[in-house]
């Protein structure tokens, strides 16, 4: 089967001139009707047979092709009067302002133009020249070339222009544009004639692009675009008739305007400021722009991603008896999907057998390809086809055991969401996969569906098997450790087998290990002996397991219990690194089967009575909870009497909330500890300790107390007026009335508790839903910005337009997925190196995007400073990636010099200086209405200095400002109180704290430039979370480090392990131009070289229209562009070409 690969070198964009539109056209369209009474298309109508065919049996009048052969042809409509192309309304306005109405020259002097190098102008320079020219007409100046007085031009959206008091007609604009010289256009970035933005003829799309459908009632229903073209033709005819009959100018202009409206909505039916054209049913029509843009548009739905053949989808279910490399495929699916196999002397007999089975019986075949012609196998012809099968024919046979397929679960968040498996055809109707492979797919069996794709060519199969096979992806490129292996029941099973005192007779041991491992000959075995049979003989290692240290010597477990880390952690990692992926696969396959056998032998279940406590246990928990509620009541009393110690920087109410949350949180922790101590080793505890599932918090809530419910990080406050529920008194701030659930799940909740619990639960559901969308969009932006980054053979990382992003990937050239080779005493740098062609950008984007869904949306309290709320989690990560101008919670960490760092008093004085204070913070003011005076009292020295200038001093610390009238006094007071007295701008509060043995100042609000100038501040270590301030103050290298540090901090806080190299790549891409760029349409993605890549991301129409007018050329260097035009992507295996010396082939070599 020959694969022909065309290579498109570049795509150039331009604007059609009316002349080209007419030349391209297969016929002029002039009647608004489509079909005649007999149902045949009318000549000169919108379904003219010259424009192509959509009905079987009719031939195209232009090329003679039938349905499926003819690609369709453009027609054209001659407009009675020219109209503005709505996509270029702004460009037309700009050119009108920038050129002289008399001579058509740019309104800038020759000398100014000579100052620019015409060959090397960029968009910034074009805008600069345009702005200079526009200033002349805006100020009604004179043309520097012909001296004519210019008039100010106004633009009224969407497409009308006024000069002075007159309306500019489209014909006037056309005349003006014809005068503009090519030379001048060069200086403003136009690569086409501006008069082409005014249309005197419009193209009519081929019929294949707007086919009509026949409804059940045999009526024809026309496409939206056809409807639109009918409108244009009707108005066009009316306009012509009115002009010919000499109608008044007013009517003609109205119709002309209507024609303009229809042509505008034909191109884009979403223009702001004009009502969209609607269908009879009232639904807005989908016209050209709507067809292209958005998720359901042409770019994203049909070009960047498509529906494919040779794929299947069904529900998945578990099967622990197949290998992690396999996938169970239902026979129903295996009979439908086909694989091309070329007949040779070894396989021709088996292929003949398949052909004889026909398409319906498994294993059979669907068709045979002989000399490029496909022949379907039918029940009647199958024997004859089988007999004539020859070597070299290609048989499209059913999917059989051992075939290579690609298996995928959406959402595909990282590369392990799509892996290569081999087929096992099994009965029944679901795909089956080994439970150890659920983690990378994030699959469970509660109804999830998965997709299966069958590669068709030999190259595709080889590539899938070598690069995508499950066993090759055991180690995650996000953090360099395994993402597969035994979990849950596997872990419990292995714990039951390897725990102390487990002795088995030979008979029991053989029964347990049947078909899994070979046991050494002896009479009794410990559980650890049996587990050791899974390990390679020369494996020596030790690691800290979930249940204590594990020591392995020469393939024998000497001590320790095998739990989560032995099944899917460090032990598996070691086997993978030392013995390769095949050994790791065998270890996973065998250890999980052994674990399940032992699980079934020893039995393991949990019942409701396991959560029963004896009376003294229940009493102990009740005492703790009673004490906590009393403590809260005491706090409430102190709050009423206002004797409570206020948390610095918070109000009395907020302080009460903080104390109450702390007290009740501690009560739940204590009751959990009591429960755990009283219950001892039961199934739930074993699972939590071994790392199989659950945690002690689950046990606490089942047995002890469910605890305080929170909404938005605070106790529950909202409900009825001044109380949460009608069963509480007004203004009740006790624990129970504000969402403290003291019951356990075992005991059951009261109606009030149940309601509060539902409130807390609802929040987490909403939170999850919102988080998924936000994190998905963040990942899409990241991937779009980074997908062109790849490693070159010289170890550099280059991106869009071959721009150098890193001299060496991650500064050490090491692949994060292979970091195991240089950790833990290993120094195998050759194995750990990143391979040229590796799509490091996409992997980095996935490694940061994929954990995004597990992040929280809440704001956390800063470690060490209770009063500071710092944005962490997903919102902060998005802020960093967006390079947001000012973060939602700006804060600084100010380190001090040697003189201040160990002296808290001096540090506090410095903090005092930083605090931004206004008059209203340090002054008390009263208004004396009779005397028309303001009396201001203050002890603040700086405020007194400021007041001396504008008022008279009466007594000590008292100043008086007098005025004419009461309103004037109030205005003066308002202005006065807003006046800044001391401190640094934007620093709202300061907190002096101890950090690693030295005193530091934390601030709410940030102003890096000003703070660094203050004496006593350590200018080297002081930092802020406002990236733009770092960029503006310390420059691009500093902000690169800040992006890496801030992103790492967020991920670390969420306990998500992401290799630092991924963050470094994102930071380098954001700062590579020397400016801080956001990841998204206003930054990296919007400034890509390729127009197709930009249009496929966001703002599709804008990029297409700009490319045409500036004559852009797309060199097709990146990923997105090549996918769109259907070529192989220049990344990974796509970077390698095969060269053959001419003359070698055929000489027997």
The model's pLDDT over 756-793, given as tens digits with 9 standing for 90+, comes to 999 989 988 998 889 899 999 999 999 999 999 999 99
pLDDT at 428: 95
Whether pLDDT at 1144 is above 80: no
DSSP annotation string for 123-153: HHHHHHHHHHHHHHHHTT-B-TTT-PBP--E
What Cα–Cα distance (Å) separates residue 226 from each residue in 274, 286, 779, 908? 21, 11, 39, 75
By C-alpha distance, which of 527, 511, 530, 508 is closest to 519? 530
pLDDT at 101: 86
Whether 841 contacts 1063, CB under 8 Å? no
Architecture of domain 26-73+205-292: Irregular (4.10)
314-473 carries CATH number 2.40.40.20: yes
The mean of the pLDDT values for the chain is 90
| pTM, to two decimals | 0.92
Whether pLDDT at 502 is above 50: yes
List, for residues 718-770, the tens digit of each pLDDT value.
Answer: 889 989 999 999 988 888 898 899 898 988 999 999 999 999 899 889 988 89
Question: pLDDT band at residue 657, thresholds of 50, 70 and 90?
Answer: confident
pLDDT at 860: 53
Give the length of the chain: 1149
The continuous run of DSSP H or E covering 425 comes out as strand 418-426
Classify domain 608-749 at the CATH class level. Answer: mainly alpha
By C-alpha distance, which of 691, 534, 535 is closest to 598? 534
Mean pLDDT of 1012-1037: 94
Query: Which residues, listed in sequence order, are joined to residue 1092 by a DSSP beta bridge?
Result: none
List, for residues 363-384, the tens digit of each pLDDT value.
Answer: 999 999 999 899 999 999 999 9
Whether 666 contacts 674, CB under 8 Å? no
Whether pLDDT at 826 is above 90: no
By C-alpha distance, which of 421, 456, 420 is closest to 341? 456
Whether pLDDT at 896 is above 50: yes
The tokens describing 226, both together, are 């056809």
d(CA 260, CA 171): 13
Q: Give the dihedral sign, CA 1024/1026/1030/1033.
A: negative
Sequence-separated (6 or more) residues with CB below 8 Å from residue 372? none
Question: pLDDT band at residue 1043, thresholds of 50, 70 and 90?
Answer: very high
d(CA 631, CA 647): 17
Classify 541 as helix, strand or coil.
strand
By C-alpha distance, which of 763, 672, 768 is closest to 713? 763
List, for residues 76-135, the tens digit of each pLDDT value.
Answer: 999 999 999 999 999 999 999 999 988 888 888 888 888 888 778 888 888 888 888 888
Domain parsing of the chain, residue ranges = 26-73+205-292, 84-196, 314-473, 489-602, 608-749, 880-1037
pLDDT at 1149: 45
Question: pLDDT band at residue 943, thresholds of 50, 70 and 90?
Answer: confident
Whether 633 contacts 676, CB under 8 Å? no
> 865 vs 609, which has greater pLDDT?
609
Classify 527 as helix, strand or coil.
helix
Whether 1077 contacts 1083, CB under 8 Å? yes
Neighbours of 703 (CB within 10 A): 26
pLDDT at 1: 45
**Backbone angles phi and psi of 493, in degrees to 5:** -60, -45
What Cα–Cα distance (Å) separates residue 261 from each residue in 264, 431, 628, 1049, 1105? 5, 54, 72, 54, 19
pLDDT at 1145: 66
Whether pLDDT at 1117 is above 70: yes
> 386 vs 977, which has greater pLDDT?
386
Whether 733 contacts 690, CB under 8 Å? no
pLDDT at 166: 87
Whether pLDDT at 442 is above 50: yes
Percent share of the chain, pLDDT over 70? 97
Whether pLDDT at 938 is above 60: yes
What is the C-alpha R_g of the chain?
Answer: 38
List, for residues 317-373, the tens digit of each pLDDT value.
Answer: 999 999 999 999 999 999 999 999 999 999 999 999 999 999 999 999 999 999 989
Which of 274-283, 864-873, 923-932 is modeled with the greatest confidence? 274-283
Classify 719 as helix, strand or coil.
coil
Fold assignment, 489-602: Enzyme I; Chain A, domain 2 (1.10.274)
pLDDT at 835: 95
260-281 exposure pattern, b = at least 16 Cβ within 10 A, e = fewer: bbbbbbbbbbebeebeebeeee
Whether pLDDT at 478 is above 80: yes
Whether pLDDT at 5 is above 70: no
List, for residues 79-96, the tens digit of each pLDDT value.
Answer: 999 999 999 999 999 999
């Amino acid at each position: 089967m020959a694969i022909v690969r065309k290579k498109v070198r570049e795509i150039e964009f331009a604007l059609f001139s009316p002349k080209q539109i007419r030349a391209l056209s297969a016929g002029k369209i002039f009647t608004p009707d489509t079909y005649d009474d007999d149902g045949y298309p009318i000549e000169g109508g919108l379904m003219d047979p010259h424009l192509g065919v959509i009905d079987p049996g009719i031939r195209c009048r232009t090329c003679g092709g039938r349905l499926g052969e003819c690609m369709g042809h453009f027609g054209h409509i001659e407009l009675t009067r020219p109209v503005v192309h709505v996509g270029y309304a702004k460009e037309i306005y700009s050119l009108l302002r920038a050129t002289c109405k008399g001579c058509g020259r740019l309104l800038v002097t020759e000398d100014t133009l000579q100052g620019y190098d015409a060959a090397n102008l960029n968009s910034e320079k074009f805008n600069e020249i345009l702005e200079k020219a526009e200033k002349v007409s805006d100020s009604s100046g004179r043309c520097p070339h012909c001296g004519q007085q210019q008039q100010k031009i106004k633009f009224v959206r969407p497409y009308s222009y006024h000069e002075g008091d007159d309306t500019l007609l489209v014909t006037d604009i056309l005349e003006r544009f014809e005068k503009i010289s090519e030379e001048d256009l060069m200086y403003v970035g136009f690569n086409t004639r501006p008069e082409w933005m005014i249309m005197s003829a419009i193209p009519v799309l081929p019929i294949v692009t707007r086919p009509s459908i026949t409804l059940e009632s045999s009526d024809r229903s026309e496409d939206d675009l056809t409807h639109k073209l009918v409108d244009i033709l009707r108005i066009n005819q009316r306009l012509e008739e009115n002009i010919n009959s000499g109608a008044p100018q007013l009517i003609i202009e109205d119709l002309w305007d209507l024609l303009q409206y229809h042509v505008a909505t034909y191109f884009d039916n979403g223009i702001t400021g004009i009502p969209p054209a609607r269908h009879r049913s009232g639904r807005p029509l989908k016209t050209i722009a709507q067809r292209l843009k958005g998720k359901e548009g042409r770019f994203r739905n049909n070009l960047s991603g498509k529906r494919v053949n040779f794929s299947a989808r069904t529900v998945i279910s578990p099967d622990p008896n197949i290998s992690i490399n396999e996938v169970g495929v239902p026979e129903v699916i295996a009979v439908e999907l086909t694989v091309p196999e070329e007949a040779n002397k070894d396989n021709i007999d088996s292929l003949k057998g398949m052909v004889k089975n026909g398409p319906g019986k498994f294993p059979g075949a669907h068709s045979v390809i002989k000399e490029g012609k496909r022949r379907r196998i039918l029940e009647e012809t199958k024997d004859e086809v089988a007999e004539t099968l020859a070597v070299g024919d290609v048989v499209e046979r059913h999917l059989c055991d051992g075939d290579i397929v690609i298996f995928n679960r959406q959402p595909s968040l990282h590369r392990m969401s799509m892996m290569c498996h081999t087929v096992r055809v099994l009965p029944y109707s679901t795909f089956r996969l080994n439970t150890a492979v659920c983690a990378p797919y994030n699959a469970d069996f509660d109804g999830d569906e998965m997709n299966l794709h069958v590669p068709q060519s030999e190259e595709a199969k080889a590539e899938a098997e070598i690069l995508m096979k499950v066993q090759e992806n055991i180690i995650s490129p996000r953090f360099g450790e395994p993402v597969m292996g035994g979990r849950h029941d596997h872990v419990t099973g292995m714990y039951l087998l390897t725990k102390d005192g487990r002795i088995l007779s030979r008979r029991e041991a053989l029964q347990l290990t049947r078909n899994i491992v070979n046991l050494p000959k002896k009479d009794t075995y410990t559980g650890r002996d049996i587990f050791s049979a899974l390990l390679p003989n020369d494996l020596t290692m030790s690691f800290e397991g979930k249940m204590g240290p594990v020591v392995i010597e020469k393939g024998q477990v000497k001590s320790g219990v095998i739990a989560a880390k032995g099944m899917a952690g460090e032990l598996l990692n070691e086997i993978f690194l030392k013995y390769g992926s095949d050994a790791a696969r065998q270890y996973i396959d065998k250890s999980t089967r052994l674990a399940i056998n032992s699980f079934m032998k020893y039995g393991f279940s949990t019942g409701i009575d396991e959560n029963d406590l004896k009376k003294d246990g229940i009493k102990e928990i009740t005492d703790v909870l009673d004490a906590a509620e009393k403590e809260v009541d005491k706090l409430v009393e102190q709050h009423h009497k206002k004797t409570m110690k206020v948390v610095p920087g918070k109000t009395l109410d907020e302080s009460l909330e903080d104390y109450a949350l702390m007290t009740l949180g501690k009560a739940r922790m204590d009751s959990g500890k009591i429960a755990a101590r009283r219950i001892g080793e039961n199934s739930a505890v074993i699972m939590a300790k071994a790392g199989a599932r659950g945690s002690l918090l689950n046990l606490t809530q089942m047995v002890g107390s469910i605890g305080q419910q929170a909404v938005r990080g605070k106790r529950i406050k909202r409900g009825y007026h001044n109380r949460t529920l009608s069963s509480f008194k007004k203004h009740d701030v006790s624990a129970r009335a504000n969402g403290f659930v003291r019951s356990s799940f075992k005991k059951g909740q009261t109606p009030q508790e149940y309601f509060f619990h539902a409130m807390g639960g609802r929040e987490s559901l909403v939170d999850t839903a919102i988080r998924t969308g936000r994190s998905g969009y963040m990942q899409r932006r990241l991937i779009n910005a980074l997908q062109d980054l790849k490693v070159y053979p010289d170890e550099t990382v280059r991106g869009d337009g071959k721009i150098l992003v890193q001299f060496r990937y991650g500064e050490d050239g090491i692949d994060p997925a292979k970091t195991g080779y240089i950790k833990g005493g290993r120094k195998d740098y050759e194995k750990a190196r990143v391979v040229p062609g590796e799509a490091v950008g996409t992997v980095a984007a996935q490694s940061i995007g994929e954990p995004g869904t597990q992040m929280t949306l809440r704001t956390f309290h800063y470690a060490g400073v209770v009063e500071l709320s710092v944005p962490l989690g997903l919102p902060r990560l998005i802020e960093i990636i967006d390079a947001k101008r000012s973060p939602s919670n700006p804060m600084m960490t100010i380190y001090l010099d040697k003189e201040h760092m160990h002296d808290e008093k001096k540090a506090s004085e410095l903090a005092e200086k930083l605090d931004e204070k206004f008059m209203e913070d340090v002054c008390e003011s009263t208004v004396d209405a009779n005397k028309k005076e303001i009396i201001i009292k203050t002890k603040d020295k700086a405020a007194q200095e400021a007041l001396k200038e504008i008022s008279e001093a009466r007594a000590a610390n008292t100043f008086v400002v007098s005025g004419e009238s009461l309103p004037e006094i109030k205005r003066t007071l308002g202005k006065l109180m807003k006046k800044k007295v001391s401190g640094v701008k934007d620093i709202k509060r300061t907190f002096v704290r101890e950090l690693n043995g030295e005193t530091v100042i934390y601030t709410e609000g940030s102003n890096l430039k000003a703070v660094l100038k203050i004496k006593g501040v350590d200018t080297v270590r002081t930092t802020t979370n406002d990236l733009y301030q770092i960029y503006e103050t310390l420059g691009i290298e500093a902000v690169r480090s800040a992006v890496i540090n801030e992103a790492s901090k967020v991920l670390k806080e969420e306990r998500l392990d992401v290799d630092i190299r991924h963050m470094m790549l994102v930071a380098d891409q954001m700062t590579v131009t020397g400016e801080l760029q956001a990841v998204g349409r206003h930054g990296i993605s919007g400034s890509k070289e390729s127009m197709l890549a930009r249009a496929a991301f966001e703002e599709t129409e804008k990029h297409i229209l700009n490319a045409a007018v500036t004559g852009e050329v797309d060199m097709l260097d990146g990923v997105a562009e090549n996918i769109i035009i259907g070529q192989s992507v220049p990344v990974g295996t796509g970077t390698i070409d095969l060269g053959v010396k001419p003359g070698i082939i055929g000489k027997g070599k």
